[in-house]
Amino acid sequence: MSKPKVFIDGQEGTTGLQIYDRLARRDDIELLGIDPDKRKDVTERKKRMDEADLVFFCLPDAAAREAADLCDNGRTRIIDASTAHRTAPGWVYGFPELHGQRIAVAQAMRVANPGCHATGFLASAAPLVKVHVLLPDYPLTCFSLTGYSGGGKKMIAQYEGEEKAAELFSPRLYGTALQHKHLPEMTAVAGLDRPPVFCPVVDDYYKGMSTTIMLHNRYLKGQPTAEELCLILSAYYAGEEVVTVAPFHEKGDTLAANAFAGTDKLELTVSGDHDRTVITARFDNLGKGASGAAVQNMNLMLGFEETAGLRLS
C-alpha cells in the first residue's frame, strides 16, 4: 500500500517548520517538497496540492483563504493552521477531545487547527458549558501567559537579538483592545453568548503556555465547589492521553507556565475552595497549541494511531 502524500504550504514559518521537522522523521508518510524559489508560485503550489492526500496551510489568514480556493480537486484533505477558517461553515474545528469532535475530525475534508490561547481556554470552559454547569451567559474572564515563540519569527528575533529592548525582559500584556483574533473561536466553540474578557501576556521565555479562567462558584449551576469541578473535568477527559486533569490542587502551590514545554500534552489544574475556582491549562504553545495539534489531527484524518509521533512525556 502506498504511503499518504503530505504537502506543507508555508513551511518556512514557525508552525510550518515544526510540522515539517515532526513529519520528516516518520516513515509512514511521503512528504512532498517544493523548490524554495517556487514556494509562492501559484501553479507549482496547486500542483503539489493536487498530488497530496493531505495539505497543511501554514500561512497568513488571507493567503490561507486563497489557498483553500486553490485546493479545489475535491479529494485533497486540508488542515489550516491559520485563524481564517476556525468558525467558517464547512470546516471542522480540530480539537478531538471536545464534544465528540474526534469522529468529526477523522471524517472531515477540511479541518481548522485551533489557536493556542483558544486551546487553553476551551479545554477548561467548553466542557463545563457542555455539561450545563457553566451557563452560556456567564461573564467569563481569562488571562493567558505564553512564551515568545508564539509570536513567530519576528518576535523570536526581537527576544533573541543582541540589542534586546529593556521591556522584553518583563511580562507584557497585549490585546488590551479586547479584539484578539482567537476570541471568535473561543466564544463559538465554548458555546458562550458573549466573548470572555481576555488578556494574553507574553514573557521572556521561549515556549510554554498557561491559560487561566476564574469562577465565582455561586453563579454556576448547582454551585459546585472547586474540588467538585475538578471531578467533573476529570470525568469529561477520562481515558484521554493528550488532555489530562491533575489531582485537585488543594494547597495552591506555584504553577510554572513552561512545565509542559517540549511535549504535546495539556494538563488542567483546578484550584480553589467552596466559593471561588481557578482552572489553569498548561501546555506547549508550539505543541498542543500548534504543530502537535496539527499532527494529531492529521493522524486521525489519515487513519494512523492518534498519538503517533506525539511527545506525551
Residues annotated as catalytic (active site), given as ranges: 116
Half-sphere exposure of 71 (CA within 13 A, CB side): 28
| CA–CA separation, 54 and 5 (whole Å) | 7
**In 10 A of CB 232, how many CB atoms?**
18
| CA–CA separation, 27 and 25 (whole Å) | 7
- Among all chains, which residue has been given the C-alpha cell 475556582? 277
**Is the CB of residue 151 less than 8 Å from the CB of residue 208?**
no
**Is the CB of residue 57 less than 8 Å from the CB of residue 82?**
yes
Residue 77, helix vs strand vs coil: strand
Burial code of 147-179, b = ≥16 C-beta within 10 A, e = fewer? bbbbbeeebbeebeeeeeeeebeeeeeebeeee
Q: Which residues are 144's β-sheet partners? A: 200, 211
- Among all chains, which residue has been given the C-alpha cell 455561586? 218
Name residue 25's amino acid.
Answer: R
| CA–CA separation, 181 and 178 (whole Å) | 9
Cell numbers standing for residue 191: 458555546
Cell numbers standing for residue 141: 474572564
